[in-house]
Amino acid sequence: MKTAKVAIVGFGTIGSGVARLLVEHQERISRHAGRPVQLARVVDPDLSRPRNITLPKGLLTDDLSKVTGDPDIEVAVELVGGLEPARTIVLKLLESGKNIVTANKALLAEHGQELFDRARKLGRSIAFEASVGGGIPIIAAIGQSLSANQIQSIRAILNGTSNFILTQMEEHGRDYAASVAEAQRLGYAEANPAMDVNGSDAAQKLAILAHLAFGTKVNWKAIPRIGIDTVEVADLRYAKELGYSIKLLAVAKLVPEGLELHVSPTLVRQGTPLAEVRGAYNAIRVIGDAVGQVFFHGLGAGQMPTASAVVADLIDTVVGRTAITFHTLELWSNDRRTLVTARDPDSVPGRFYLRFNVDDTPGVLAELAGALGRHNISIASVIQHETEEEADGVVPLVIMTHTAPEGAVRRALDEINRLSCVHEGTVRMRVGGSEETHR
């Protein structure tokens, strides 16, 4: 049987994990692939950095042409990350006849159409299980296992770093910066952790899932997103008092007006499955019209969980399964009919938790309530704890709203934030409601 030679391009955290699986478990992987699988090359500009795997001699190179110029290499794994040079590298690899496996959600969310069109023209495939949900097989689940269904909604924790940070803050009252540093040390965070904490990483992953599940072509930048970078330990305490945990949720929901999409820190009812997702875990709740509710839970970031998904894609590609699904799914293709368009983000309704830092003086509450009222936003409750006189006279004020369109809330906050009695640091979060089902 012909040996399937594979290459890794990008020898960082995930690349080392993939190399470990391929080198240390070659026999198992070959058995699952039905023929010998051999790591033939690893490409990275940094030849000296220590990694937690010792490669067989001569494998590591900084020269991509050792892969593009070797016709025996069938599959290349792109683990460079980011947009460039990753995009150029994938195009070169496709041109040289390689099938691609990638974990790069930013690349797919930004250049999916170009890369998939190129692969189709060249008769190659691109597999991307590791791009969403780390080790959770959500791409295969939505693309294949749930294909009898019309997916109705996806409600998900898609960023392990944010969930890790929120868990540290909630359980240990640990400060935000220390939690970010720890997430980076553990290899969960992106090279630029801003993408993790400002909701961009989750929005990119949501755009991929929305395309797969609903055929919706949406630019991830058009998905309204709020990050966790404004959340304070105090918000987690208020939420707890109200019976909620805070999670960075990515939501896609099919309604008659189209597909509702948003990423936002969300108050999730305690005792529901999503509220119990801790640390770097991700979870994805999918509702399909035939299957009902399905819940996926697993490590969404980190070396070996992500490597697990990458190597599964490698095996699928070697077996030939990827080529079949790649062509039938017609992802990021102009030929694929757009089945559902995204709903105008401003019209997407929700209940909101708002926290303001305000002067503790008469009339302030009336000013805020007036601004909300002018935008037709109804107040459900107000929390202001009695405090000792603050030295600077600034106190937190929490307002929970009834259901209102996102655009109206955003506009009301723009107005409120300009008031002289309102100080920096306004927080806006969604509040999960009846859609949170208990076990």
Q: Which is nearer to ligand HSE, 304 or 416 (CB)?
A: 304
**CA pair distance 187, 182, nearest whole angstrom:** 9
Q: Taking a C-beta distance cutoff of 8 angstroms, is the pair 235, 169 a contact? A: no
Q: Taking a C-beta distance cutoff of 8 angstroms, is the pair 288, 149 a contact? A: yes
Least separation in angstroms between residue 134's CB and ligand HSE is 6
Q: Where are the beta strands (DSSP E) in 223-320?
A: 244-255, 258-269, 281-288, 292-299
The two three-digit tokens of residue 260, written as one number: 């509702």
Q: Which is nearer to ligand HSE, 161 or 401 (CB)?
A: 161
Q: How many CB atoms lie within 10 A of CB 75?
A: 26
Least separation in angstroms between residue 106's CB and ligand HSE is 9
* CB environment 219-256: b (16+ within 10 A), e (fewer): ebeebbbbbbbbbeeebbebbeebebbbbbbbbbbbee
Least separation in angstroms between residue 383's CB and ligand HSE is 31
**Closest to 76 measured CA to CA, from 21, 134, 28, 18:** 18
Q: Which is nearer to ligand HSE, 187 or 350 (CB)?
A: 187
CA 149 to chain CA centroid, nearest Å: 23
Q: Which is nearer to ligand HSE, 10 or 160 (CB)?
A: 160
Give the single-character DSSP code of 187.
T
Q: Taking a C-beta distance cutoff of 8 angstroms, is the pair 258, 268 a contact? A: no
Q: Which is nearer to ligand HSE, 37 or 127 (CB)?
A: 127
208 by DSSP, 3-state: which? helix
Least separation in angstroms between residue 22's CB and ligand HSE is 20
Q: Which is nearer to ligand HSE, 93 or 250 (CB)?
A: 250
How far does the chain reach from its first CA to its final CA, in angstroms? 48
Q: Which is nearer to ligand HSE, 68 or 159 (CB)?
A: 159
Phi and psi, residue 342, nearest 5°: -70, 140
**CA pair distance 45, 66, nearest whole angstrom:** 13
55 by DSSP, 3-state: which? coil
**Closest to 310 measured CA to CA, from 4, 14, 5:** 14
Q: Which is nearer to ligand HSE, 44 or 196 (CB)?
A: 196
Least separation in angstroms between residue 298's CB and ligand HSE is 12
**CA pair distance 118, 228, nearest whole angstrom:** 37
Q: Which is nearer to ligand HSE, 112 or 300 (CB)?
A: 300
Least separation in angstroms between residue 33's CB and ligand HSE is 25
**CA pair distance 18, 415, nearest whole angstrom:** 50
| Binding-site ranges for ligand HSE (CB under 6 A) | 159-161, 188-190, 196, 201, 300-301
Phi and psi, residue 336, nearest 5°: -80, 125
Provide the annotated active-site residues: 205
The two three-digit tokens of residue 431, written as one number: 């509040």
Least separation in angstroms between residue 305's CB and ligand HSE is 9
* CB environment 276-307: b (16+ within 10 A), e (fewer): ebebbbbbbbbbbeeeeeeebbbbbbbbbbbb
Q: How many residues does the chain have?
A: 439
Phi and psi, residue 401, nearest 5°: -100, 160
Least separation in angstroms between residue 137's CB and ligand HSE is 15
Phi and psi, residue 157, nearest 5°: -100, 110
Least separation in angstroms between residue 136's CB and ligand HSE is 11
